[in-house]
Chains A and B, each alone.
Chain A
Amino acid sequence: MSSPSLATSLRLAASGGRSDHVRIGITAAGAFMTTLLFFLAASVGLIGPTDGPYRFEVLNQPGLRPGVIISLLLLTVPTLIFVGQCSRFGAPARDRRLARLRMAGARPRDVVRIVALETGLAAFGGSIVAAVAYFVGRRWFATEHIATITTETEIGSRGILLEEVNATVRYAPTDVLFPAWIVVALVAVVPVLATGFSVLALRRVVLSPFGVNRSTPSTPPRLLPVVLFGAGTAALMSFSAVVRLLDLDRRAFPLVALTGFIFFVMIATGLIIGGASIAAATGRFIAPRTDRPSILLAARRLIAAPYTSTRATTSILLAVFIGSAVQAVRASFLAGTDPEDTFYATTFSLLNLVLVAAIVLSCASLAITTTEAVVERRRTLAALKAAGTPRRTLAASLFAETLVPLVPSVVLAASAGLLSARGVFGSRVSSWSDERGEVILVDVPLPVATPALLGVCAIAVSVLATAASLVPLRRSFDHAELRTAA
């Protein structure tokens, strides 16, 4: 038996209803943003010795460019998660369509192919538009103007001469040349990742002619996230002390950096896996103790589907974790530099902007997940409403479902980020003393306020995203849902 032709598969992939079209649209939008960020990161990475100068010092100094690239790549984490989450949008309607295709004779692999084509083409469309937008934008921002910049000149073995000069500068690296293969790779990477994810997401799904059954693990691991998070945090908290104790020389720096990165990844993984564990544990604690129906509904939902609420908050937690770490690093840098030198303060402020953008982008995923949770439970919600449950109770339960596990997770993420970075960069740094002309050690203040503000902002933006996703709640009260099995 042969597979349907590509043209047939394409027609079937594009034959869905409104929710399918919305999913295609938002997948393309996510791919657009991610690809654009990849192009921006690549343009910084491709700055050559003859390119520039630029308005921003971080682009002029080769040593600082990796930081810019990493910041831009960090922004792609929430946008990539968003693209992944898009595959869940309108899932019930798509599942019914896939079941009908199976009923009409399509094999499971044909259906998987249709899903992969839908996602891949949507992402490809978004990536192509992003590439076009990038190159159009390059021309748009290619204007030059005069500004004062700092230049570096090597003066033999004596060091580097820093000079402030007036020069013709560009705002962004619009003069770098892109080899064709890099353009092709950047356009291809998101569609390939999105297609792969959509196929992987179907591995736990049984596509039968009678419907689509998703098997999701309902009991998250308890010990593994605690071990990863606890060990990683403890290791980074004592990192600089241990490195000092071992008295490692500069040659050991790559190994030390790799070890630190592994601990960092351990904490992030612990947070990602632990989000679901925290959700389930919080639900188990609250459910038998509450008198409030909204909290009871939320708590039981957290126990039954702990991954649903935490899937979307993963990138928010990562942003808070990294953001808090950045605040500790910022405090360490600023404590060791001249207060009149605003370079680091400005750079870290730019980084904070990137973090805020990451949190906002993460909330798009949260809005999609919460919307999907409403659509998925529309029959139960319609029945509860018909039985007299006030809409505000149902809305409150959906809010609680997001926020109850998010608040402790944000506190943990912020604390871990702050303490880990402080452990790595130390609580005392060397600083130049103007009066005595010698290097002195100064205490680094513990920056509690900014990580706390970051956490509060993350929770506030999550509240807004959840509120936005409650719009379909009113529509979910369609009484026609009462005649259908939940």
Chain B
Amino acid sequence: MNQAPSPNLADPAPSPHDALQTQDGRASAPLLTVRSAVYSYGSELALQGANLQLAPGEILAVTGPSGSGKSTLMLVAAGVLAPTAGQVIFNGRVISDDSEGERSRLRRTEFGVLFQFGQLVPELTAGENVALPLLLDGAKRQQARAAAGLWLERFGVADLIDVRPPDMSGGQSQRVAAARAMVTEPSVLFADEPTGALDTMSGEAVMREIVRVAREAGTGVMLITHDAKVAAYGDREVLVRDGTTNELSINLRNGDDR
């Protein structure tokens, strides 16, 4: 982040109608578009006209040094923060102008969010943590618990269903958090440094699980990381520097989920 007085709009702003190449090489309309997004914390500009597109089922790595604005970009894209200027378009609809309540509903139903420290509710069991988004959407307890059990199983932590986060390892917590983020079968998963608090082995294992499950579910993933190894899981990589975005490369993995 820096103190630049005006946004840098040098990066050409994408249109939601621009075609994107998906991981299997087909052209696809973008599922999520961030166009010329500006965001400031008081007088401090964090985003200065950032642009981004995410295709359905695509894994997009957003990289950059600490303080470059990549987490702010994710929060803006996920509708947690409303951009000061610019637009966020999801499924062809501008969501950045929606009310906080509408964006909250969207995050509950269409988006999943995964944080560096999992941020599970420490008082709830793993099963209840995962069931929570479904309960918020009006599901019955038994139905939500059954779905939570299935998603915990998909992330290989079904045996933790009645365990509370303080009694879990970091890797286990992050798997449970991933299951919580995926339980509503979102169109987009926003993952902010999902392995940042884990050791190398656990981090790789968690990333493999996230990528595998996201591929199976056809969920697009916006993966925020400053770790090149984690970024390599992406189909594309976008570099954020001083609040602006630059597409670095296209990693054609063609279904390689490693």
Contact = CB atoms under 8 A, between A and B. Distances in A.
Asked if A and B are interacting partners, one says yes
B70 to A, nearest CB: 11
A484 B104 contact: no
A486 B117 CA distance: 7
Interface residues of A, number: 31
A293 B123 contact: no
Contact of A386 (B101, B107, B123, B140): B107
Interface residues of B, number: 38
16 contacts: A289-B141, A290-B141, A291-B139, A293-B136, A296-B124, A300-B123, A300-B124, A304-B123, A379-B117, A385-B104, A386-B78, A386-B113, A387-B108, A387-B133, A388-B113, A483-B116
A482 B113 CA distance: 11
A3 interface: no
Given A303-B123, A479-B75, 4 more contacts: A291-B140, A379-B119, A388-B107, A388-B136
Contacts, number: 94
Interface in A288-321: 289-293, 296-297, 300-301, 303-305
A389 interface: yes
Interface of A: 287, 289-293, 296-297, 300-301, 303-305, 379-380, 382-390, 393, 479, 482-486
B101 to A, nearest CB: 7
Contacts of B136: 293, 388-390, 393
B132 interface: yes
Given A292-B135, A388-B108, A388-B136, A300 B128 contact: yes
A482 B141 contact: no
B104 A388 contact: yes
B106 interface: yes
A105 B76 CA distance: 42
A328 to B, nearest CB: 40
Contacts of B75: 386, 479
Contacts of B123: 297, 300-301, 303-305
Contacts of B120: 380, 486
A479 B81 contact: yes
Contacts of B157: none
Contact of A300 (B112, B119, B121, B180): B121
Contacts of B192: 482-483
B101 A380 contact: no
Contacts of A384: 121, 132
A305 B166 CA distance: 13
A389 B119 contact: no
A301 B105 CA distance: 25
A101 B14 CA distance: 51
B182 to A, nearest CB: 12
Nearest to A482: B115
A288 to B, nearest CB: 8
Contacts of A386: 75, 78, 80, 107, 113, 115
Nearest to B144: A291
B147 interface: no
Interface string B242-258: 00000000000000000
